[in-house]
Structure 1
Amino acid sequence: MQKIDKSILSEVIHKRPDISYKGNYGRILIIAGSTHFGGAALMSARAAVNTGAGLVTVATVSEKFTAINVDIPEAMTIDYRQENDLRDAISKNNVIVIGPGLGSSETTFHLIKTIIKNIDEQIIIMDASALTVVSEKNINLKTIKNLILTPHQGEWQRLSGLKIPDQTTKNNLEKINSLAPNSLLIVKKHLSEIYYQEKIYQLISGNPGMATGGMGDTLTGIIAGFVGQFGYSLKSVSAALYLHSHIADKIYQKDYVVLPTKLASKIPETMQEFACSQN
């Protein structure tokens, strides 16, 4: 098992070329939020924007448009209940997030099916409610070419059938190779683990101040921003995971709890620090 440390950030984050435009840095579609769980969409989108994603679109319920447009004016909004708009957005974006704050409803099931039917080479990140619905509806994930799964241990238990005490590295690797052999799996926990093509990486940072609502939604947005800019690879996802905990560890030195909004606000300056450290 390989440990993920600070060196991964300088390997992945690089200075932007002088001649750049927003299309160079990823087109991210975040399908998230619902009437009762609008904050998840906000936190995922804020994190994606702050990592430097070129274009971020949030597909959510129209009742949440004002909150998103005021809090994150850099992000665009569409209503995921409008089928044609959603399909058009799926085709135009290269990274698609689904799950934060959606709830385990038939709507979420329909959204997952719509994605699977309308994707080609896009990178799909499934989180939160999407993972629960996949397990409840026994959705086949093997046909998705570029898939990232981000369950916490309870969600992984539902998806894999492995009880938490049985979630050993050996069992996790066997199960993900059975469920979705082309995917990259992050099992979120104390010292989170990544499983990808027979390789296992482990995070060696993080703190108890991160145990608060929205932390996972923020991580999902960071991952989306990283793979949109730096490509879909074990390294880019590992760097996203490390950056999330690295910033949280700095905040925790002074703060009793690590608020996701504060963490997201520190992303641009932290990335610049590591991009400039290559010189």
Structure 2
Amino acid sequence: MKIINKEIAKAFLPKRPADSNKGTFGKALCVCGSENMMGAAVLAVKAALSAGVGYAVAAVPEKEKDVIFTSVPEAVVLPVGDKEEIASFVLKNKIDLVLAGPGLGKEKASAYIPFLLNDLKLPFVLDGDGLNALTRADAQAFKTPCVFTPHPLEAARLLCLKEPPCEKERENAAKEISRRYNCVCVLKGKETVIVYNNEVFINTTGSDSLAKAGTGDVLAGIITGFWAQEGKQNGFSFGSALRAAVCGVYIHGLAGEDAALDISSYSVLASDLNKYIGRAIKKTLNN
């Protein structure tokens, strides 16, 4: 077991070569949001951009596309059509990585998740409704590198448990999810546990400021942003996924701490965190 500290997070942060362009830092397709949960899509896509992804595409419902245009003008918008349209866009635009789940909704997740995970054959980050949809499908060990970001209740569903794992069981639960699905597992909560292939990291940043709806969407976006950069430069492997998850969780927690110092842990909103991602990265990089 390793405790994530500044030195580990700094070593795992993706490098930013001076002779770069947006293609250097990866292209991510974010399949997020639904009629009543577009906020999750905004939070996740903006976080991926704040973490440094070169190109973020928000695949959202046609009726809700203006939400992205207005809230995240830096993103490209793909109004969600049929699966063939998504596959064509991915191929034409050479998408590197998929984030699926934040605010997707159960019905939409059930329709899209099997296709996104099995047919596109791209590395992926799975969060929220994406994880819930997966539990209704046949359990399988994915060969494509992937990151799962469950909270305790989602972990229970993934493991077919009646109750969420208690504090003492969290590490074993994360190990079992990682083993069963062949994924990097980020089991969220106080001292978030990150596991792959029995390599275990425990995070110590964060505060009660993060105990609020939407902060998990931000985390999924940060991990996606870091992995897009790391993977594009060094390959989309389980190793690069683990490094992105480790530094993503650390930076997310640090952003929550800094936000709480400025505006109190009572009042931090998930949307505030994006303003602190850059500060958290800068603090981590400084000696």
Q: Return the TM-score normalized by structure 2.
A: 0.88
1:153, distance to aligned residue in structure 2 (A): 0.2
Counterpart of 1:110? Answer: 111
1:80-95 matches, cutoff 5 A: 80-91=80-91, 92-95=94-97
Identity %: 25
Q: Which amino acid aligns with 1:119?
A: L
What is the correspondence of 1:23-62 to structure 2 with a 5 Å cutoff?
Answer: 23-62=23-62
Correspondence 1:1-279 to 2 at 5 A: 1-13=1-13, 16-91=16-91, 92-105=94-107, 107-120=108-121, 122-135=122-135, 137-162=136-161, 163-165=163-165, 167-177=169-179, 179-180=180-181, 182-231=182-231, 232-254=240-262, 255=264, 256-275=266-285, 277=286
Deviation digits for residues 205-225 of structure 1, max 9, x if unmatched?
211111111100000000000
CA deviation profile, 1:4-38 (whole Å, cap 9, x unmatched)? 12222321336622211100001011001001111
Cα gap change, 1:175 to 1:66, in 2 (>3 Å): closer
1:255-276 CA deviation, whole Å, 9 max, x = no partner? 223222221122234324444x
Cα deviation for residue 84 of structure 1 reads 2.8
Q: Is the 8 A contact 2:165 2:173 kept in 1?
A: no
Residue pair 2:34, 2:104 contacting (<8 A) in 1 also? yes
Question: Match for residue 236 of structure 2?
Answer: none
| Structure-2 change in CA distance of 1:188 and 1:82 (3 Å) | same
Q: Partners in 2 of 1:270 and 1:192 — Cα distance?
A: 17
How big is each residue's C-alpha offset from its partner over 1:173-227, in whole Å with a ceiling of 9 and x where there is no partner?
Answer: 23431x21x3100111111101101111111121111111110000000000000
- Deviation string, structure 1 residues 30-69 (Cα, Å, up to 9, x no partner): 0010011111000000101111110000101012211111
In structure 1, C-alpha distance between the alignment counterparts of 2:174 and 2:244, rounded to whole Å:
21
In the TM superposition, residue 118 of structure 1 has moved relative to its aligned partner by 2.5
Provide the rounded CA distance (Å) in 2 between the counterparts of 1:147 and 1:68: 26
Do 1:219 and 1:244's aligned partners in 2 also have CA atoms closer than 8 Å?
Answer: yes
Contact 1:148 1:183 in 2 (8 A): yes
Partners of 2:14 and 2:229 within 8 A in 1? no
Question: Cα gap change, 1:203/1:274 in structure 2, threshold over 3 Å: closer, same or farther?
Answer: closer
Inter-partner Cα distance in structure 1 for 2:173 and 2:188: 16
- Contact 1:90–1:96 (CA under 8 A) maintained in structure 2: no
The 1:189–1:82 alpha-carbon spacing in structure 2 relative to 1, beyond 3 Å, is same
Q: Equivalents in 2 of 1:226, 1:139: separation in Å? A: 30
**Which runs of 5 or more residues in structure 1 are unaligned?**
none
TM-score, length-normalised on structure 1? 0.91
Determine helix, strand or coil for the equivalent of 2:205: coil
Mind listing any 5+ residue stretches in structure 2 that lack a counterpart? 232-239
Corresponding residue number in structure 1 for 2:235: none
Structure 1 CA distance for aligned equivalents of residues 222 and 38 of structure 2: 18
Where do 4+ consecutive residues of structure 1 move more than 3 Å? 165-168, 272-275
SS in 2 for 1:28: strand
Q: Give the count of matched residue pairs.
A: 272
Q: Aligned letter for 1:261?
A: S
